[in-house]
Structure formats: structure tokens, C-alpha cells
Amino acid sequence: MELSLLNPQQREAACHGEGPLLILAGAGSGKTRVITCRIAHLSAARGVAPENILAVTFTNKAAREMRERVEEMLGKKRCKGMVIATFHSLCVRILREDIEALDYKKNFSIYSTADQLRLIKDLIQQVDIGGRKFDAERVLYAISDAKNRLVPPEKFAVKYHDDYEYMAAAVYPRYQKALKAFNAVDFDDLIMLVARLLQEHPAVLEKYRARFRYILVDEYQDTNAAQYLLLKLLAGGHHNLCVVGDDDQSIYGWRGADLGNILEFERDFPGARVVKLEQNYRSTGNILAAANAVIKNNGKRREKALWTADGAGPRVDYLLCEDEEDEARAVMERIHGERFREELNYSDFAILYRTNVQSRAFEEQLRYENIPYVLIGGQQFFDRKEVKDLIAYLKVLVNHRDEVNLLRILNYPKRGIGETTADRLIRHSAQTQKPLWEVLKSASELDDLGDKAQEAIAAFVALMERYRRLFNRHGMMVETLRELIAEVRLEQEIYRTVDDPVKARRRVENMEEVANALASYLEREESPSLPGFLEKVSLLDEERPGRDSKEKKLQRDAVVLMSIHSSKGLEFPHVFLVGMEEEFLPHKKTLTETFDLDEERRLCYVGITRARRRLVLTGARRRKKYGEMQLRVPSRFLAEIPAELLNASRGEEPPQLPEEEKDQRASKAFANIMSILGD
Ligand code: ATP
Ligand code: MG
């Protein structure tokens, strides 16, 4: 066993027996390593059966890595049956087994953000007869926030009395009703419905309590109220709940993560053993000192004293650049130089930013200099229109009650079911309370529809029923998908509607990529199915599946570009934390009015602590915005790093502060930076 690879505190945590356990530790202190060793210990030394172990984390990558580490220690065979999953995939698993208790069908669809927005837009129109423009995303955000706090539609109280709140209050119940009618769930439902299932059905709760006898949770600081309730319910009988987290790395407040969950664990689980880990094994002394110096400015936190046995290492670099292009060039220069000097791989470098839009200048420069890179996140493959169109067909084939997607494909590509016909069908469905699919099947009873429309509808129904059968042929799924693309003439539709031939080609290739994704899903999965494939696609939190998964991308020798959010839990020898400016980090929030500076500081802390040996902070004096040059103010967090840790490049000419940006704090940060630059 690898317990010898742990320090005494880590070992204490890994070998803990029964009862609640809280491991509270800073970044890079080996929390994730403790979890994997604890799983191995439970299995090897305590004889716990694999199916009694449940480990939960936040991203697919983290879950996959955890499984791999455990398999290395125990061997694949002894891990079979262990559930090592994200919250969402755990919940899908439970719902596929037991959702009927909540009066849904097992073939439920999982709605993507795009599906949700389509539905919300529709509902806004139904509610708002005045025709005012509402931003569907903002309404969705309010609803999602309520769900994460476990507030059902009937308890949604209007607090701030703005138009959006009233709109959200009106849409929320309709939205839930529609989802139910379409036999669909959204991401927030996944967690909320499982919590409800366990609360309302004691027999189901008992079943899962008996199954998951040891529960381990990584990145516990990011759980929201719904996830917390879920854990509390599951661990309710045996209290064998081990949670691992760092209050300083809580960065999902905007998604309802509740720091209280970690700060109050001991109160909620009496008798909990608390283990603190303070030795950092990841970063050099200077990097760690910079991280500590920043995070100590947050008020509500548990004091931690992270230290490292490593040397101080080089100072943290700060590059103040002219503009975004200069910033990108400066980063490339460093990569070229250090890679050569220290014989590094491209994959030893990561460029981290606060918002995905910041990646553009870096991508361009990387391409220009022929440096291989991978972009993680950003425009998700499955968010592209042509991909969504194809997936919509598949979603309807699996669940014909899915009306959002049924309407998406009803007349796409054009097949003679125009808007008037569609309206007539929808109206009939509403009047008779019959699902739209049933209305389509019996459309011949609607005398006011013309012959052409009747024919088109009948052909569509026949097409879908035929493909539902075809997809059931054993081992023929990829062929069937290609047949479907050809028969529906999706490619021709793209060539017909997209003028730019290069763009059109790329879109067609993207559809082919879906077939590839399906093929590689079929290879990996023991008992593959079309619903299973759609589920994988829905739960994807990374770029594309299959051939070009995030995993494989990271293995390729390429510079990694990603947001700070998606870098959580990862580490890289060299990290560039770019755009260290006010409005980026801290970010000028647009969605919510509540500006959470502490959370921005935690993000900065997460970014800094990804670095193992070298950290470079960069910022620009000015940036183009709406075609105009704007002066930028260095991030206030820079000023929190003691000057002796920083190695700042000298700017030739001090940036001028525009009048309106002379906010007190910013100018203090600015003055500090200037003094660093001047020393
Ligand atoms: P984060 O807060 O970023 O999620 P973490 O606390 O989960 O970090 P790990 O990722 O588990 O930390 O470990 C950080 C690094 O330290 C890894 O490279 C890991 O292999 C190494 N490490 C952890 N514990 C030890 C140890 N006892 N001896 C040597 N290396 C260790
Ligand atoms: Mg970790």
C-alpha cells in the first residue's frame, strides 16, 4: 500500500475508521491524494466491498483521475462496482434507476443550457403580453439560483421587486411544469430531484444508504445547498462521510455554493474528526508566500499556515505589457526561452485567465508562432448549432415527449411543416392536453390542415419511427447515425444556408465528429445505448468527447489554455496568470449586482497555487474595447503581494488613470504597483 507516501497527518486521515471526517487543508497539501489513499485503505485493509464506496467530485476529469489512481493502487478488478463520479453523474445514475417514483419516465432527457433557454424564451413570450424584451439568460439565472437553494416554484418569493424577479416568479412554475410534461430535467433538477426522491421515499433512501456505506467528497467547499442536503441524506444512517476541502478555494458562489457547508461541518456532523494538512508539496516557497499574502486579506476564513520543505525558488514575475497583443507576445517569448533553457515540454506551461474571451489574443499568437496548444472550455463543441441540430434528432428519438427538441427539428431542414402548421399543431396540443408527438401522429384528424402539410407530417412521423427501430439494431448505431444525416439531408442544408464554403465545410465536419464521438463511446462502453450516449454528451464539462477528449489533449505536448475555474485541482510546472487587471480579476460582474470580492480573491489564490515552479503574472496598460483603446488599472491583488516576492518588469511610461476609474482601492493598488516598478 502506498500509505508510506503520506505524511503522518495525511496517514491519520487516510486510515480513519468510521464516522464523519473533515479534512481541511490549503492548496497542494495532498487532499486529493488522501482521498485516493483512503479509498484504497478502506478496500484493502478494512475489507469494504467496492460497491459500498462512493466518491464524489466536481469535474469529469477529476473523477477519472481519481479512479485511475485508485485502480493503480488496488488493481482494476478490485475497483469494479465502486462509484467514483461527479455529483451530476451520480444523480443521473440514481434517477435512471428510481425516477419513476417521482412520476417521470426512465428515458428522460437532460436539457442543455441551449434547450433551457429555448424553453424560457418561449415562456417569457407567453407571460409578457406587453412585448417587452427580457433577457432569457437572466431569467434562467434567477430560476437556477432558486433551485440551487432548494426553493420550489410555489415558495419563490419576490425580494427585490424588479421586473426580472417578477418575470422569474411567473416563468419558474411554468418552466417546471413544461419540463415535467416533456419528460425532461435540467442540470439543477438532477440534484434537486434526487434530494426530493430520497426525502419523500424512505425505501429508496434506505436502499442507497445500504449501498453507499462510505462516502468521500473532494472539493467539498463548492457544494451548494442541494448537494449538501443530498450528502446529508445519504450519510444520514452511518455518518461515514469524509469530506475534503479548502475554504479558500470556494469559487462557485455564483452557482450557489455555500461556504457555510464547510465552515459548519462540525456542527452538522457532531463528533466529526478534523484533520488539518499544512505542508504543501506542490509549489516553491515564493509562490506559496504570494498565495498566502493574497488570501489572508479575506475576512471569513479559517486560518491556515501553509509551508513547504521546498526552497524559495525564483521570485514571482510580473510583466506589465502595452496591450493584449504585447501581452501575448511576452508570454510566448517566455515560453520559447524557458522551454529551451530548462528543456521543458510545451505541456509544462499553462495560461490561465479569468474569462474565456481573454484566450483569443493568446490563441492567435500561439498559432502565429506555430506553438501547439489546447484550449479547454470556451465554445463547447456540443454548443455549436449544427451539432445541437443533430443531437436534437437523437434526443427526440429517445424521448418523443421532448418538445423543445421536437420543435427544433420539426421543420429543420425544411420539409413543408411551416410556421402556420406548427402553430396549429401546438394550439391543438394545448387545447386537448395531448403531447405534441401524439398530435402529430393523429394529425389526419385535423381537417383544417392542407393535404401537403398532412403528407409532410406523416412522412416526418414515419421517419422518426423508422429510425427509432433502426437505432435498436445491434452494433449498427454509427451507420444508422450516418444514414440519418444523409436521409434528412443535414449536410445539404448547411451548404445551402452557409455562404462561406470554408465555414460550411467545418460545420459538416463537426457533424461527422459527432459520429466519431459515438464510435469512440461505443468502443469504451460495456453496454452502450443511444440514451447512454446522450447522457455522456449532456454531462460533458469539457471540450469534445472521444478522439479529442480533454484527457488526450492534456497528454499531447501542447501549451494549455483554460479559465481559472477549470484549472481547479490541477497543477503545472509553469503558470502564466494573465490579465491581472481590475475588471478582469476582480471581474466586473454583469449577471448579478452582488460583487463578491472575496470570491474573486479566492480565484486569484486558486490561479497562483496551480504553479509548481514558476509563476508569471501579466497585465496590459491598455486594451481595445469596442474598437477603442482603454486604459487599464492593475489588479488590486497585485498590490497584496509583498514587493520582495515580485520581480517586476519596468514600464517605460507610467499608465495614466482615466478620471472615472479613480476608485480609491484601485488607485491604492495602482500606487503600489508603481512603487514596485520603481524599486
Ligand atoms: P488542490 O487544493 O489544488 O486540489 P490537493 O490538496 O488536492 O490540491 P494534491 O493534488 O493531492 O493536493 O497534491 C498536490 C501535489 O503534491 C501532487 O503532485 C501530489 O502528488 C503531491 N503530494 C501530496 N502529498 C505528498 C506527500 N506526502 N509526499 C510527496 N508528494 C505529495
Ligand atoms: Mg485536490
Is the CB of 29 inside a 6 Å radius of any atom of ligand 1?
yes
Residues 525, 531, 535: CA angle, nearest 5 degrees: 75
Of 202, 261, 270, nearest in space to 227 by CA:
261
Our answer to whether residue 31 is catalytic in this structure is yes
Of 616, 61, 570, 624, nearest in space to 357 by CA:
624
Q: Which residue's C-alpha cell is 426522491?
A: 197
Which residue has a Cα nearest atom 9 of ligand 1? 30
Nearest-angstrom CA–CA distance, 329 and 331: 5
CB-based contacts of 156, cutoff 8 Å, min separation 6: 146, 168, 169, 172, 173
Q: How far is the CA of 347 from the centre of ligand 1 (A)?
A: 19
| Backbone angle region of 475, left / alpha / beta, with phi > 0 → left and psi within -120 to 50 → alpha | left
List Cβ<8 Å contacts ≥24 apart for 665-672: 665/636, 666/582, 666/633, 666/636, 667/633, 668/636, 668/639, 669/582, 669/633, 669/634, 669/635, 669/636, 669/637, 669/638, 669/639, 670/633, 670/634, 671/639, 672/638, 672/639
Nearest-angstrom CA–CA distance, 442 and 459: 13
Axis crossing angle, helix 477-488 with helix 451-470, rounded to the nearest 10 = 160
pLDDT of residue 346: 95
Nearest-angstrom CA–CA distance, 112 and 458: 29
Q: Which atom in ligand 1 lies closest to the alpha carbon of residue 281?
A: 16
**Would you say 39 and 291 are in contact if contact means Cβ atoms under 8 Å apart?**
no
Q: Which atom in ligand 1 lies closest to the alpha carbon of residue 606?
A: 3
pLDDT of residue 627: 73
Nearest ligand to the C-alpha of residue 34?
1
Q: What is the pTM of this model?
A: 0.86
**Would you say 298 and 282 are in contact if contact means Cβ atoms under 8 Å apart?**
no
Is the CB of 246 inside a 6 Å radius of any atom of ligand 1?
yes
Which residue has a Cα nearest atom 21 of ligand 1? 281
User: For 316-382, what is the HEC assignment?
Assistant: EEEEEECCHHHHHHHHHHHHHHHHHHCCCCHHHEEEEECCHHHHHHHHHHHHHCCCCEEECCCCCHH
Q: Give the three-state DSSP class for 566.
A: helix
Nearest ligand to the C-alpha of residue 572?
1
**Would you say 119 and 109 are in contact if contact means Cβ atoms under 8 Å apart?**
no
The partner residues of 634 in beta bridges, in order of sequence, read: 581
Is the CB of 574 inside a 6 Å radius of any atom of ligand 1?
no
Q: How far is the CA of 31 from the centre of ligand 2 (A)?
A: 5
Q: How far is the CA of 245 from the centre of ligand 2 (A)?
A: 8
Residue 464 carries which side chain, given as an amino acid letter?
Answer: M
Q: How far is the CA of 570 from the centre of ligand 2 (A)?
A: 7
Q: How far is the CA of 543 from the centre of ligand 2 (A)?
A: 21
Q: Catalytic residue, from 71, 145, 218, 582: name it.
A: 218
Q: Give the three-state DSSP class for 664.
A: helix
Record the cell numbers describing residue 639, joined without a space: 498590490
- What are the two backbone dihedrals, phi and then psi, of residue 253, each rounded to the nearest 5 degrees? -55, -35
Is the CB of 31 inside a 6 Å radius of any atom of ligand 1?
yes
**622: number of Cβ within 10 Å:** 17
Which residue has a Cα nearest atom 31 of ligand 1? 281
- What are the two backbone dihedrals, phi and then psi, of residue 257, each rounded to the nearest 5 degrees? -60, 140
Record the cell numbers describing residue 3, joined without a space: 500509505
**Would you say 602 and 249 are in contact if contact means Cβ atoms under 8 Å apart?**
yes
List Cβ<8 Å contacts ≥24 apart for 14-18: 14/38, 14/41, 15/41, 15/45, 16/242, 16/273, 16/275, 17/46, 18/238, 18/239, 18/240
Record the cell numbers describing residue 377, joined without a space: 472550455
User: Which regions of the chain are under pLDDT 70?
Assistant: 1-2, 129, 254-257, 259, 263, 378-380, 541-555, 590-595, 649-679
pLDDT of residue 555: 57
Q: How far is the CA of 30 from the centre of ligand 2 (A)?
A: 7
Q: Which residue's C-alpha cell is 384528424?
A: 445
Record the cell numbers describing residue 476, joined without a space: 449498427
Q: Which atom in ligand 1 lies closest to the alpha carbon of residue 609?
A: 3
Our answer to whether residue 322 is catalytic in this structure is no
Q: Is 674 exposed, middle or buried (0-12, 13-18, 19+ CB in 10 A)?
A: middle
Which residue has a Cα nearest atom 18 of ligand 1? 282
The partner residues of 616 in beta bridges, in order of sequence, read: 317, 576
Which residue has a Cα nearest atom 13 of ligand 1? 30
Which residue has a Cα nearest atom 24 of ligand 1? 30
b/e per residue, 228-265, with b = 16+ CB within 10 A?
bbbbebbbeebebbbbbbbbbbbbbbeebbbbebbbeb
Pocket perturbation via mutation, ligand 1, pick of 2, 12, 29 by most ligand atoms within 8 A of CB: 29
Residue 292 carries which side chain, given as an amino acid letter?
Answer: N
Nearest-angstrom CA–CA distance, 46 and 39: 10
Our answer to whether residue 249 is catalytic in this structure is yes
Is the CB of 281 inside a 6 Å radius of any atom of ligand 1?
yes
Nearest ligand to the C-alpha of residue 26?
1
Q: Which residue's C-alpha cell is 437532460?
A: 110
Q: Catalytic residue, from 115, 145, 188, 219: name it.
A: 219
Q: How far is the CA of 233 from the centre of ligand 1 (A)?
A: 30
**Would you say 16 and 42 are in contact if contact means Cβ atoms under 8 Å apart?**
no
Of 48, 227, 237, 260, nearest in space to 150 by CA:
227
Is the CB of 607 inside a 6 Å radius of any atom of ligand 1?
no
Q: How far is the CA of 315 from the centre of ligand 1 (A)?
A: 22
Q: Give the three-state DSSP class for 623.
A: strand
Nearest-angstrom CA–CA distance, 164 and 63: 37
Query: How many C-alpha atoms does 543 have within 13 Å on its Cβ side?
Result: 20
Our answer to whether residue 32 is catalytic in this structure is yes
Our answer to whether residue 618 is catalytic in this structure is no
**78: number of Cβ within 10 Å:** 16
- Going by the annotation, the residues of the binding site for ATP are 25-32
Counts for the chain of helices (H) and strands (E), in that order: 27, 17
pLDDT of residue 279: 95
Is the CB of 276 inside a 6 Å radius of any atom of ligand 1?
no
- What are the two backbone dihedrals, phi and then psi, of residue 304, each rounded to the nearest 5 degrees? -135, 145
**Would you say 104 and 185 are in contact if contact means Cβ atoms under 8 Å apart?**
yes
**Cis peptide bond N-terminal to 586, omega within 30:** yes
Our answer to whether residue 218 is catalytic in this structure is yes
Is the CB of 27 inside a 6 Å radius of any atom of ligand 1?
yes
Q: How far is the CA of 246 from the centre of ligand 2 (A)?
A: 9
Sign, CA dihedral 100-104-109-113, equals negative
Is the CB of 279 inside a 6 Å radius of any atom of ligand 1?
no
Q: Which atom in ligand 1 lies closest to the alpha carbon of residue 27?
A: 2
Which residue has a Cα nearest atom 26 of ligand 1? 6
Nearest-angstrom CA–CA distance, 46 and 570: 30
Q: Catalytic residue, from 9, 10, 11, 31: name it.
A: 31
Nearest-angstrom CA–CA distance, 383 and 39: 36
Nearest ligand to the C-alpha of residue 38?
1
Nearest-angstrom CA–CA distance, 501 and 491: 12
Helix, strand, coil percentages for the chain (3-state, nearest 5) = 55, 15, 30
Q: Which residue's C-alpha cell is 520543505?
A: 309
Q: Which atom in ligand 1 lies closest to the alpha carbon of residue 10?
A: 27
Pocket perturbation via mutation, ligand 1, pick of 2, 22, 23, 32 by most ligand atoms within 8 A of CB: 32
Record the cell numbers describing residue 393, joined without a space: 434528432
Q: Is 189 exposed, middle or buried (0-12, 13-18, 19+ CB in 10 A)?
A: buried
Residue 633 carries which side chain, given as an amino acid letter?
Answer: V
Is the CB of 569 inside a 6 Å radius of any atom of ligand 1?
yes
Helices (H), 369-418: 385-398, 403-410
Cα–Cα distances (Å) from 311 to 285, 338, 613, 615, 673, in that order, read: 6, 19, 10, 15, 26
Nearest ligand to the C-alpha of residue 277?
1
Q: Which atom in ligand 1 lies closest to the alpha carbon of residue 33?
A: 11
Q: How far is the CA of 218 from the centre of ligand 2 (A)?
A: 7
Is the CB of 5 inside a 6 Å radius of any atom of ligand 1?
yes
Q: Which atom in ligand 1 lies closest to the alpha carbon of residue 35?
A: 11
Which residue has a Cα nearest atom 30 of ligand 1? 281
Is the CB of 2 inside a 6 Å radius of any atom of ligand 1?
no
Of 562, 615, 617, 609, nearest in space to 585 by CA:
617
> What ipTM was reported for this prediction?
0.99
